[in-house]
A and B are shown apart, each in its own frame.
Chain A
Amino acid sequence: MIQSNNVSLLEVKNLKVHFPVKTGIFSGVHETVKAVDDVSFSIAPGETLGLVGESGCGKTTLGRAIMRLVEPTAGSVFLDGEDITGMRGATLRARRRKFQMIFQDPYGSLNPRMTVEQIVGEALDIHNLVDSSSARKKRIEELLHAVGLDALYAQRYPHEFSGGQRQRIGIARALAVEPKLIICDEPVSALDVSVQAQIINLLSDLQQQRGIAYLFIAHDLAVVEHISQRVMVMYLGKIVEAAEAEKMIREPLHPYTQALISAVPEVNPETKRQRVVLPGDVPSPIHPPEGCPFHPRCPIAADGKCSQEVPALLEKSPGHVAACHFAGKKI
């Protein structure tokens, strides 16, 4: 369990999200895509937990399962101590004020036919957060200012804005209900480099001002490390390592984490790392390998143990867990 010291805001226990793969009406074979396979972690109020992994590892599905946009197959999600896994209808709707999501695609995450004011104000209307139209207008202006946009833009349409500005609008939309937790699903991956920094700073500032916790999902290790206090690494639906951000980068225990770190191209030519290139492809979650999911590509896999036994996620040093029979061995 990736524990934090405080009372958790979000607690995920043994979460599984499996999708059936239909192979035809008459075929008896039922395969499942084990997108999220027994994941447990917690986030404390006001903290940022980073989640990093490559395509197909299940990080987006995990984020959506917590948001209840996708139904979990097993396991539970606790928010503020309350089990929200089975909630539906009006009860769930009421809880939605506590957690929101921001999305990856600045061009697809805003309804092109709605004005900024309608987009940001939609949540205010659903939850009856303002009681007059002037209060509503004021609140929307506040939200736009909070994300660095001029209140004049409330009447404009999304297509008039740049990618970075659209992400800001998306953030304003998420802030409308004053959530305690925001799940950020690759919020900067689709933005230009110079704009990424603006959005990352904005998210940091909002966290400091409002005490919002983040689950920050991304594939860019440097970005995740920068903004997170703790980081989890995901591979084929499972968490393979988790620790404090800086510690993980300095002393990665899992071979996959080490490979990820060494694969990041280094800007400074002085600090050229010894590059370890993983062979093969990112595997498909329909047919995960036997034993350790990483062993077919792992440079230090031992025959026998790694291909038969699934390593458990164990604490190897305080606050640092890894799922590897040979955790700590350098690749």
Chain B
Amino acid sequence: MSLLEIKDLKLDFGRGAEAARAVDGVSITIEAGETVCLVGESGCGKSVTAQSIARLVPVPPANYVGGEIWLNGRDVLKMPIGELREIRGGVVSYVFQEPGAALNPVFRVGNQIKESLKLHKPEKANDAEVIRLLKLVGIPAPESRIRNYPFEMSGGMQQRVMIAMALASEPKLLVADEPTTALDVTIQAQILDLLRDLKNRLGMAILLITHNLGIVGDMADRVAVMYAGQIVELAAAGDLLRRPLHPYTKALMNSVPKLSGNMDRLVTIPGNVPRIGNFPPGCRFAPRCPVARPSCSDAVPELVEVEPKRWVRCPYWNDPIK
């Protein structure tokens, strides 16, 4: 049984005539100990999907209109609130993008980690355990650091503290939502190294959300590309990066400048990412797609396994791009 299985998740914002579908039939599986990356641009629904795993999305304004989320054998969407509190932290933990905003500025760092411990492992809610956790995430001189306030720490340190808080309860799945986007590139390298190291040592599964394909190459076992609330491509990371199949994935990879890469004009994707509630009919990428035909706007294409363990949501994935 997989650790996490999201089945056909559908989520709307707003009700009735104003309902806008943010997540439209997303299905992802994560096995224990594997790292899956969820890639997409802003507004594609990746954060909302990830937050649904622990039912963190506030209802209203959101409401779940379909699908199931099986975490460790229980459906998160139907859990009573008591059980939900147990899995939050106990089975799945989160690390968010802006550590400065996620840490409470008026409490010392040590106390915040202890709070996380008190909820799930109260017998270990002491300084010794906090110091152990800080050492685990690579913070030097942890004994003095536990008395620091968040503002006394740099962005990289704060993110390490967030990771320590997330790990305090020994979760089986760590969801990291753009954990390095707000950090400098050398610090980003440190944090990614740390996540890889922790994964190896603790056997934790990681769901890593990012818009940076380079991070996918560094970290992921498998990757899902999202566009306008749907998964458009799903494959093993190496396969996808070597040979992307969906036109959106191909265009995305071509539009990112690479070091020592081609100095010519970047190939751009014309137009804008469609906003929630304003999705075009049929295939949502069709208006911007270089291989689209008129029939693409008739119906939403299905996610099809076109090669072993490679799913694509495009019937013309094999067409060469002119």
Q: Which residues of A contact B (CB under 8 A)?
A: 54-55, 162, 164-165, 192-198, 200-201, 204, 219-223, 225-227, 246, 249-250, 259-270, 275, 277-279, 281-282
B260 and A268 within 8 A (CB): no
B255 and A196 within 8 A (CB): yes
- Residues on B with C-beta less than 8 A from A54 are 184-187
A225 and B259 within 8 A (CB): yes
Q: Can you give 23 contacting A-B residue pairs, CB < 8 Å?
A: A193-B255, A194-B41, A194-B251, A197-B266, A197-B268, A204-B265, A221-B259, A222-B257, A226-B257, A226-B261, A227-B257, A246-B260, A265-B189, A265-B192, A267-B241, A267-B253, A267-B258, A268-B242, A269-B238, A275-B189, A277-B190, A279-B190, A281-B154
- Docked CA distance A268–B241 (Å): 6
CB A39 to nearest CB in B, in angstroms, measures 20
CB A260 to nearest CB in B, in angstroms, measures 6
B186 and A194 within 8 A (CB): no
**Interface residue tally of chain B, by bracket?**
35 or more
- Residues on A with C-beta less than 8 A from B193 are 275, 277
Known contacts: A249-B260, A275-B193. The answer to whether A281 contacts B41 by CB under 8 A is no
- Docked CA distance A250–B263 (Å): 14
- Docked CA distance A269–B266 (Å): 21
Known contacts: A54-B186, A278-B190. The answer to whether A267 contacts B252 by CB under 8 A is no
- Residues on A with C-beta less than 8 A from B188 are 263, 265
CB B252 to nearest CB in A, in angstroms, measures 6
| Binary contact track B213-245/A, C-beta < 8 Å → 1, others 0 | 111111000000000000000000110011000
Known contacts: A277-B193, A281-B156. The answer to whether A266 contacts B214 by CB under 8 A is yes
Known contacts: A194-B41, A281-B156. The answer to whether A263 contacts B185 by CB under 8 A is yes
- Residues on A with C-beta less than 8 A from B155 are 55
Other-chain residue from B42, B237, B270 in contact with A192 (beta carbon distance below 8 A) = B42
CB nearest neighbor in A for B192: A265
- Docked CA distance A187–B260 (Å): 21
- Residues on A with C-beta less than 8 A from B154 are 281-282
B268 and A198 within 8 A (CB): yes
Beyond A219-B184, A265-B189, 9 additional pairs, beta carbon < 8 A: A54-B185, A194-B252, A194-B273, A196-B256, A197-B257, A198-B268, A262-B189, A268-B217, A282-B154
B214 and A194 within 8 A (CB): no
B256 and A197 within 8 A (CB): yes
| Binary contact track B20-43/A, C-beta < 8 Å → 1, others 0 | 000000000000000000000110
- Docked CA distance A222–B259 (Å): 5
Asked if B144 is an interface residue, CB under 8 A from chain A, the answer is: no
- Residues on B with C-beta less than 8 A from A222 are 256-259, 261
Other-chain residue from A193, A204, A264 in contact with B252 (beta carbon distance below 8 A) = A193
Greatest chain A CB density within 10 A among B188, B241, B255, B259 is at B259
Other-chain residue from B157, B189, B256 in contact with A278 (beta carbon distance below 8 A) = B189
- Docked CA distance A221–B257 (Å): 9
Greatest chain B CB density within 10 A among A221, A226, A275 is at A226
Known contacts: A277-B193, A282-B186. The answer to whether A266 contacts B217 by CB under 8 A is yes
- Residues on B with C-beta less than 8 A from A225 are 257, 259-260
- Docked CA distance A4–B301 (Å): 54
